[in-house]
Chains A and B, each alone.
Chain A
């Protein structure tokens, strides 16, 4: 019996060891020589080298020497910037909408990661090395999300996970969770109902925590005879939000609903909130700034639904100028490939400086995901996530050449073959030929919902 246990422990250790050594979690050592280094937080350094050792930036300076055997990239004439971070994406996920209840805080996107998706490689080819794999917006309180690193090449879902990244959860306001008229009789149908759903959930979580606190306090007391309260992972998760251990990422569009959510947060003592999409954030920018809430926006998407009809492409600039920590996100397998261009649009719409514009896709989304001490700028001690561009990344002619994650080159424009599939389907006969399906024009947060509700649950009308 004992020997069997030892054997199992050994086997487990071996498995873990193997996992650790496989492609996904590799950490590299490499020297990027003589580039124009856009550090984001510490200015732009000409003719500068960046040394990555064991996956971390160990030196930034001139005339650095690579350790023997380390890879070298000559970045002469090229622009070296931190890997781009997308604070709102659904790539690398098998499914994104649980949506069977207005509150599904118990589910986690980390359980639905698909490391084989081409969208991950394509994001890398657009310079994006980290993304926030989010739950959809079918319900007011959705599932927990997962920050992933684009370690394309691994077959193991868990290896995409950015270990140690703070927990995050998706909330959703407005048209998507209410879905006016298509789910008859189900709460919420209105923005009033959305507020109620969220307040009710937090109130229940508060009561739940109080019950457990009471039980934990009393259970060791002499003569205590009570049973423990019923366990609920849903309420447990909501409780962690109230304790400040989970960052809310709240899908929202209209100024009124953003303001409503700020008040809910105020009432429940929640400080960590990032508004997502937040097309009308510009209308309540002073309130967002005063509360310390952050905003993750599209550069110029509008009019794809009624609640974004009164939008402006100047949203990001207005938010930045009002002191709101702002990022530009994709919510799209296409947009994620050119976030640098999306950031560049803030120079057309409001004239942000280069550093301000680049912050929107690097250090600011890092702040919104709580990973700013690890990624988002080129600084000694940070992780070796780097993207190298031909031409300035904010220029329309900017073309990513390399994307590096933890010191490992995951995208190489010159060397990568055209077909980068990890696992081709040998049985597929008729090709998928998408024709501009991912053109601008909708947020992708409602993926699978029609199928789920109409076909599966049969709820439509």
Chain B
């Protein structure tokens, strides 16, 4: 009798748990703990491919990677037979979290007023609940640079993980000051300015840039002399101070070949130590010079039309491969917002048009991690790094590949976004054409 009671109770409990689980599945949450991903092909990126391997995730870290790994007793085992494990993909330049609806300024927070506002911080304005975030991460892009844009110094960018409810939970260990190098080219066919007007505008911008930088250097000298005490509140200069001192990266957006050359000289003249070039659409024209300067590059979008009518049609697709071949350290970005999920395709196009597949994959994993100085935590599947990785059924750059699991900082992220929910609701809509 007692036994029977237990069976009935057990059954009821199962049903109740089942119901709760079902409700949760409507709006699932992330979960953390100890995970054992077994029988997987592990693409470590930095240490080759491990066939039939296991990865153990615990306490937000990768604690074991290999073929003969003991599975902890408390681990949730996920059989990855036939699946592949890669590090989470990193996009080195986006406005994710800073923009929600492209045409509506009220939903945009990446463009502050003023030419020189390096003190405004992307990290504090990122919306952790943006609908863009789940859409991006279920495609395997786990970590992105959220980057201000606008004037000469539009603000400070931040690397964020696409899981978390506060900026602190999302922060992935890098901040950098953004600078838009004055553009000496015509901005497009819509640019109706005369040649003279373009030249004058660029000269004016360059002069302003030099003034700001000289002031920042002066501020640094004063601050050093006064041992960090006694200077008046000057937020712009305070934000530039760590850049002058080589403690924080200056991310310089530059695209036209002539401008890239000018930047290389500008940086060398001022002996700026921590620099990355971003955009770099015409990097292929001056790739040797970039390589010689040993300045890393975060380039993209790769899927884009050539900058000039006389350029070969596939020039931008080929740009990352050509720079890499010249010896430039290259990461790939989308420069996008809502379709940052297409990052692996930008790398894929680079691979289709000249870059090796290995280098293309590195350009969205370990290379951005190294450039941003977070390669101790991100960018490869290695023991001791953050448990930020993806499990998929093939090459992540291949279009039809399905991402099966995403882990960010040890959290198993629900594979759901508004776009998948709409699919579930509308594939077979009920009611159909007639209601009754």
Q: Is the Cβ of A432 less than 8 Å from the Cβ of B308?
A: yes
Nearest CB to that of B279 among chain A residues?
A435
- Report 17 cross-chain contacts, Cβ distance below 8 Å, ordered by A residue: A302-B419, A312-B423, A314-B419, A334-B304, A337-B313, A349-B423, A419-B312, A430-B198, A431-B186, A432-B185, A432-B189, A434-B188, A435-B187, A435-B256, A436-B255, A436-B304, A438-B305
**Residues of chain B within 8 A of A432, CB atoms compared:** 185-186, 188-189, 191, 307-309
Asked if A106 is an interface residue, CB under 8 A from chain B, the answer is no
Residues of chain B within 8 A (CB-CB) of A118 are 309
Contact B305–A122 (Cβ < 8 Å): yes
Q: How far is the CA of A313 from the CA of B303 in the complex (A)?
A: 18
- Whether, in the assembled complex, A160 has its beta carbon less than 8 Å from a beta carbon of chain B, the answer is no
- A246-298 interface (Cβ within 8 A of B): 282-283, 285-287, 290
Within the complex, which residue of B188, B189, B304, B352 is in contact with A439, where a contact is CB–CB below 8 Å? B304
CB of B342 within 8 Å of the partner chain: yes
CB of A120, distance to nearest CB on chain B (Å)? 11
Known interface pairs A283-B429, A348-B399, A441-B336; A435-B307 also in contact (CB < 8 Å): yes
Selecting from B40-48, B64-72, B96-104, B166-174, the interface stretch reads: B96-104
- Contact (Cβ within 8 A) B433 A303: no
Once the chains bind, are B335 and A436 in contact (CB under 8 Å)? Answer: yes
Whether A418 sits at the interface, judged by CB under 8 Å, is yes
A98 to B322, CA, bound (A): 43
Residues of B within 8 Å of A337, CB to CB, are 305, 313
- State whether B398 touches A396 (Cβ < 8 A): yes
Distance in angstroms between the alpha carbons of A119 and B305 in the assembled complex: 9
Contact residues in A for B312 (Cβ distance below 8 Å): 418-419
Q: How far is the CB of A413 from chain B (nearest CB, A)?
A: 8
Per the bound structure, the CA–CA distance linking A302 and B100 in Å amounts to 10
Chain B neighbourhood of A317, CB < 8 A: 423, 427
Using Cβ atoms and an 8 Å threshold, which residues of chain B touch A434?
Answer: 187-188, 305, 307
Query: Given A349-B419, A424-B310, A432-B308, list of 19 further CB < 8 A pairs?
Result: A121-B313, A286-B433, A303-B102, A303-B131, A304-B102, A306-B104, A311-B419, A312-B419, A321-B427, A344-B400, A394-B400, A395-B399, A430-B185, A432-B189, A434-B188, A434-B305, A436-B281, A438-B304, A441-B102
Contacts of A285 in B (CB 8 A): 426, 429
Q: Mark A126-161, 1 if CB is under 8 A from B, else 0.
A: 000000000000000000000000000000000000
How far does the Cβ of B192 sit from chain A's closest Cβ, in whole Å? 9
Q: Is B370 an interface residue (CB 8 A)?
A: no
Taking Cβ atoms with an 8 Å cutoff, the residues of B that contact A are 100-104, 131-132, 183-189, 191, 195, 198-199, 255-256, 279, 281-282, 300-301, 303-315, 334-339, 341-342, 345, 348-349, 351-353, 397-402, 418-420, 422-423, 426-429, 432-433
**Can you name the residue of chain A whose Cβ is closest to the Cβ of B417?**
A312
Please determine whether A420 and B304 come into contact, CB atoms closer than 8 angstroms: no
- In the complex, what's the smallest C-beta–C-beta distance from B251 to chain A, in angstroms? 15
Contact between B423 and A436, CB atoms less than 8 A apart? no
- C-alpha gap A395/B398 in the complex (Å): 6
Are the CB atoms of B349 and A396 closer together than 8 Å? yes
Would you call A125 an interface residue if the criterion is a C-beta within 8 Å of the partner chain's C-beta atoms?
yes
* Bound Cα distance from A321 to B281, whole angstroms: 40
User: Are the C-beta atoms of B352 and A303 separated by less than 8 Å?
Assistant: no
Judge whether B303 and A303 touch: CB under 8 Å: no
Question: Would A313 and B419 count as touching, CB distance under 8 A?
Answer: yes
**Set A314, A391, A431: member contacting B422, Cβ < 8 A:** A314
Question: Which residues of chain B are within 8 angstroms of A398 by Cβ–Cβ distance?
Answer: 352
Shortest distance from the beta carbon of B277 to any chain A beta carbon, whole Å: 13
Q: Given contacts A285-B429, A396-B398, is CB(A306)–CB(B304) below 8 Å? A: no
Residue of A nearest to B281 (CB): A435
Given A439-B335, A441-B336: A396 touches B399 (CB 8 Å cut-off): yes
Whether the pair A312, B188 counts as a contact (CB closer than 8 A) is: no
Taking a contact as CB atoms under 8 Å apart, the answer to whether B310 and A419 are in contact is yes
Contact status B423-A394, CB under 8 Å: no
Q: Which residues of B contact A68 (CB under 8 A)?
A: none
Query: Is A305 engaged at the interface, CB distance under 8 Å to the other chain?
Result: yes
Is A170's beta carbon under 8 Å from chain B? no
Q: A54 on the interface (CB 8 Å rule)?
A: no
A421 interfacial contact with B, CB 8 Å: yes
User: What chain A residues lie within 8 Å of B279 (beta carbons)?
Assistant: 435-436
In the complex, residue of chain A having the shortest beta-carbon distance to the beta carbon of B395: A396
Q: Report whether B338 and A433 are in contact in the complex, using a CB–CB cutoff of 8 Å.
A: no
- The distance in angstroms between the C-alpha atoms of A349 and B429, with both chains bound, is 17
Q: Flag whether A212 is at the interface (Cβ < 8 A).
A: no
Is A348 a contact of B305 with CB atoms below 8 Å?
Answer: no
